Amino acid sequence: MSDSTCPICHRPTDANFRPFCSRHCADVDLGRWFSGTYRVPSFRQDNEEEQDEYRDGEG
């Protein structure tokens, strides 16, 4: 499968920024996420600790 494209601008993804094509698009997506446009049910998977889950004071 090599049909992976950036969900933001639909250009071919970069291995360093998957699933995005660049850091810019990753930031754009992150901004949407923080804006509450959509929610990710399981953002983290390797940690069962939930202590840092609700920190939103850092930018």
Q: Interface with Zn ion by CB under 5 A: which residues?
A: 6, 8-9, 21, 25
Q: What gap in Å lies between CA 48 and CA 54, rounded to an integer?
A: 14
Name the residue nearer to Zn ion (CB basis): 10 or 44.
10
Considering the complex, what minimum distance in angstroms separates the CB of residue 51 from Zn ion? Answer: 33
Considering the complex, what minimum distance in angstroms separates the CB of residue 10 from Zn ion? Answer: 7
Contact criterion met (CB below 8 Å) for 6 and 21: yes
Task: Supply 56's token pair.
Answer: 């939103």
Considering the complex, what minimum distance in angstroms separates the CB of residue 33 from Zn ion? Answer: 15
Task: Supply 9's token pair.
Answer: 């601008």
